[in-house]
Amino acid sequence: MDSGSSITMLASIAGLILMSAYFSATETAFSALNKVRLKNLASDGNKRAELTLNLAEKYEQLLSTILIGNNIVNITAASLGTVIFVRYLGDVGVSVSTVVITLLVLIFGEISPKILAKAAPEKFAMFSAPIIKLLIVVLTPINYVFTKWGRLVSKAAKTDDERGITEEELLTYVEEAEHDGGINQNEGDLIRSVIEFDDLEAVDILTPRVDVAALPITASTDEIMELFMETGYSRIPIYNGTIDDIIGILHYKDFHKQVIINGQSVRSVLQPAIFIAESMKIADVLTVLKQAKSHIAVITDEFGGTVGIVTLEDILEELVGEIWDEHDEVINEFEEIGPNEFKILCSASIDKMFDLFEIDQETDAATVSGWVIQQLGRIPKEGDTFEYENLYVTVSKTDHRRVLEITVAVNRDAESNEQAS
């Protein structure tokens, strides 16, 4: 073998390793690309993105072509390397060729191109799409055989593994996008609220009956006007006898125009009340309110008694956070009053409190008040204390049988010790 042929073979090996790099990078690019990003590019008229997306949808055929091409070029490179090294080194050339070609393929044909493709998968996939499309056509007969074999293996090894994306995985994607800077914290919070929206039930966001501003049908116009002015509400429930028998919803506009100005009776201007169960999902409550063109639903228990009410604003606040208008008194459910010490209103959601203190526990209680009662096992009194996880809780304000406010001191040392262990 003369020097000219050796140089030709070395150049061929270099070309084959370059082709191996192409196949390796293409495999990584197509497995790591973002289909949503490609769909957006394709919808904007990018033909290369459209071709890439079509190839990605036929991943079995694509992967088969890549593997066939990669194996052909790697085996050919190894064969040529063996010939050259045996020519100059004799029998030991086989071993030397194996080591050298393996290192070259690993470094330049596998690891490096895959790292580069991983950094910009969509860009490289679109670059390689026309070439890989041509190779798919050329290797169609071989691809057919391997595709059939792959499907046979898949059927033989079929499992019940659910391939659909789960809520937990979707939340993880949101966290990663937020961490990488693709979306900001407010956008991430909104997406998380939408994802978790259907997990909430009416009982989780209700205003309990003891806090419902309502009046009996026998109330005078002065009493009704006073309640409207005092609360700033535009709608109040009206009941017959007790709040367990709500007969309708009185709108301030109807009350002012029809009752005050035109002298009609309160009963004649009442809007029908919407009644729902405690366990109804708030997404379904929203649908019911939209269909009824109403802003308030009355939540009842299994005996027909009033548990509380839920408003359209309550539901929307689960998506976008607290909504305050110019007449609302801004109330902070969680207020930091000192280093690692918080004042918490007991009407707040227990889930929000657990999120604040990063506590991964479950409870049947919907509010902080219910959770405190569970922990004490009785009606709380001012000054009652208990410990929970790394929290030291003190009941700071009550109203007869209700706990209104607690203070929570966080033991950061206990938290650190637990994480270290």
- Using DSSP's 3-state secondary structure scheme, residue 182 falls into coil
Res 313: pLDDT: 86
Q: Which of 45-54, 193-202, 403-412 has the lowest mean pLDDT?
A: 193-202
| Residues 59/30, Cβ–Cβ less than 8 Å | yes
Strands of 60-177 (E only): list them. none
pLDDT class of 419 with cuts at 50, 70, 90: very low
- Tell me the mean pLDDT in the region 32-57: 86
262 or 153, greater pLDDT: 262
Higher per-residue confidence, 88 vs 79:
79
Distance CA 208, CA 200 (A): 16
Q: What is the pLDDT of residue 218?
A: 93
Summarize pLDDT for 110-122 with one digit per residue, the tens: 899 999 988 888 8
What local confidence, expressed as pLDDT, does residue 249 receive? 94
Hey, what CATH class is 334-420 in?
Answer: alpha beta
Comparing 327 with 331, the larger pLDDT belongs to: 331
Structure tokens at 55: 């190839």
Geometric angle at alpha carbon 284, from 281 and 287, rounded to 5°: 155
**Mapping DSSP to helix (H, G, I), strand (E, B) and coil, where does residue 303 land?**
coil
Across the chain, mean pLDDT equals: 84
Q: How far is CA 287 from CA 3, 55, 75, 147, 282, in A?
A: 82, 41, 63, 47, 9
pLDDT in tens, 205-239: 888 888 899 999 999 999 999 999 988 888 999 99
pTM: 0.55
| Predicted pLDDT of residue 219 | 93
pLDDT at 330 over 70: no
pLDDT of residue 395: 92
Mean pLDDT of 169-187: 72
Give CA angle at 148 (145, 150), nearest 5°.
105
pLDDT at residue number 65: 87
Q: How confident is the model at residue 421 (pLDDT cuts 50, 70, 90)?
A: very low
CATH code of the region 202-320:
3.10.580.10
pLDDT of res. 162: 53
pLDDT at residue 187 greater than cutoff 90: no
Q: For a pLDDT cut of 70, what percent of the chain falls above it?
A: 90
Q: Over the stretch 278-296, which tens digit does the pLDDT of each residue have?
A: 889 988 998 999 999 899 9
Order of strands, edge to edge, in the sheet holding 274-277?
207-208, 306-311, 296-300, 274-277
The model's confidence at residue 18, banded by pLDDT at 50, 70 and 90, is very high
